[in-house]
Amino acid sequence: MRRCDDALVKALARTHRWKRMLQSGKVRSLNELAATETVNSSYLSGIFRLTLLAPDIVEAILDGRQPRTLPLADLMDELPVEWERQKKRFGFPPQGQNGPS
């Protein structure tokens, strides 16, 4: 049975909402965003990296198909920019293979 990780799903939702706030001009910087959202700016900078996740990793997390050993802290720490490197680092199969069960 697949199970969504609530912390991962919530973090993805927050970061994408924050990204829209920046893109729309509602806030002008990550520091202003941190103040508006009353979160620590270093936390926001770390979690904001989730906006760079490969789309199929995001989909797997939302579907509850992420590796069971994937905590939010790992995604916030030194996230590779290249999607294939992300998949390898976090235990997702390479492009074109079935996802984790």
- pLDDT tens across 37-95, in order? 999 999 999 999 999 999 999 999 999 999 988 999 999 888 999 999 999 999 998 87
Tokens of 85: 């490197």
Q: Give 26's contacts (C-beta < 8 A, 6+ positions apart).
A: none
pTM (global) more than 0.75: yes
| Contact between residue 43 and residue 72 where contact means Cβ atoms under 8 Å apart | no
The separation between the first and the last C-alpha atoms of the chain, rounded to the nearest angstrom, is 8
